[in-house]
Structure 1
Amino acid sequence: MAQIVPDQPGENDPGAGRRLGVDVGTVRIGLALSGSDATLAMPLETVPRKTGFKDSDQEDIDRIVELIAQHSVVEVVVGLPRTLKALDSSSIKHAKEIAFRIRRRCPHIPVKMADERLSTVIAAQALRASGVSEKHGRKVVDQAAAVEILQSWLDGRAVFLSHVNETNQ
């Protein structure tokens, strides 16, 4: 299998509008949403993972597609779980599968793959630091990881677009 390279935030940017961040796990899918100005990521919800590799789309994919339409999302950012040495992890197949299904169901919305190294670790540490119990944290860590993925994408997008604007002036 060829190594997957994450997309560059801001490249082929669809412009203003909301972005959906997606943290794909084997049990749950965490979702985050940006405001229409695409500067701040906020937790949205956690969807139980139902769709397996050989299944037709289940209610998890249906819910993601519903949220994309409901929030007028202009870009979807799926976390690409790579190792610290930037190699593909075993979880990468799951992220690629969910990204493929979203692309197929929403062909007019760009679906990008974002490097998500350590996003779940950072999210879990932030939850613990804010006093969230480990038991309650399991319910929201996927959303927090999706926020981390999306916020990193939004920050990278802002840097990329400001550099492009400076170059064009």
Structure 2
Amino acid sequence: MRAGVRIGIDPGDARIGVARSDPSGFLATPVETVRRGKGDLARIGRILAAEEDEGATVLEVVVGLPRSLSGREGPAAAKVREFAGRLAARVAPVPVRLVDERMTTVSAEAMLRDQGRTGGKRRAVVDQAAAVLILQHALDTERATGAAPGEIVEET
């Protein structure tokens, strides 16, 4: 397992969930929810900079790529690919990777509902919870396979 903090991103139309891993790549935890729109990439860049200011090495950013249950990519995936390309340009030289995120928001919603979070309380953190699930899956995949997860994103 490669050492270094990974940042997990769940990009939605209105909000972006952000998570981080510990430096050993064992556990993903929520960081914050960033409002989508002007300044969102700058905020994510500042999150990475803050990690590095605290002495962490940011190994990569992992972005969830929505696919249908059959594995096909639709319009939402195209939007995420475009976002990931812009993010890659913003955070370079830190690499950005796309990983399959089928059903993570649904799983995050169910998890939060099971914890008793409802309505606005759930909406406030569901994107972070989805980012945690995306990142944790990427960490677990790398630990199981020994290979970096997903596909590398080219800067746009």
**TM score, norm. by length of structure 2:** 0.87
Mark the runs of 5 or more structure 2 residues left unpaired by the alignment.
53-57, 148-156
Instruction: Say if 2:18 is the partner of 1:38.
Output: no
Question: Aligned equivalents of 1:94 and 1:46: distance in 2?
Answer: 19
Is the contact made by 1:23 and 1:79 (CA closer than 8 Å) also made in structure 2? yes
What is the number of equivalent residue pairs in this alignment? Answer: 142
Is the contact made by 1:24 and 1:94 (CA closer than 8 Å) also made in structure 2? no
Give the equivalent residue in structure 2 for 1:26.
Answer: 13
Report the secondary structure of 1:108's partner residue: coil
> Partner amino acid for 1:26?
D
Is the contact made by 1:25 and 1:94 (CA closer than 8 Å) also made in structure 2? no
Report the secondary structure of 1:71's partner residue: helix
Is the contact made by 1:75 and 1:111 (CA closer than 8 Å) also made in structure 2? yes
Give the equivalent residue in structure 2 for 1:6.
Answer: none
- Stretches (4+) displaced over 3 A: none
1:102 to partner: Cα distance? 1.6
Give the equivalent residue in structure 2 for 1:131.
Answer: 116
Mark the runs of 5 or more structure 1 residues left unpaired by the alignment.
1-9, 51-57, 163-169
Give the equivalent residue in structure 1 for 2:3.
Answer: 16
User: Any idea what the Cα deviations from partners look like across 1:91-116, whole Å, max 9, x if unmatched?
Assistant: 11221122111211222111000000
Is the contact made by 1:128 and 1:134 (CA closer than 8 Å) also made in structure 2? no
> Partner amino acid for 1:17?
G
**Aligned-residue RMSD, C-alpha:** 1.4
Give the equivalent residue in structure 2 for 1:53.
Answer: none
Report the secondary structure of 2:146's partner residue: helix
Give the equivalent residue in structure 1 for 2:44.
Answer: 64
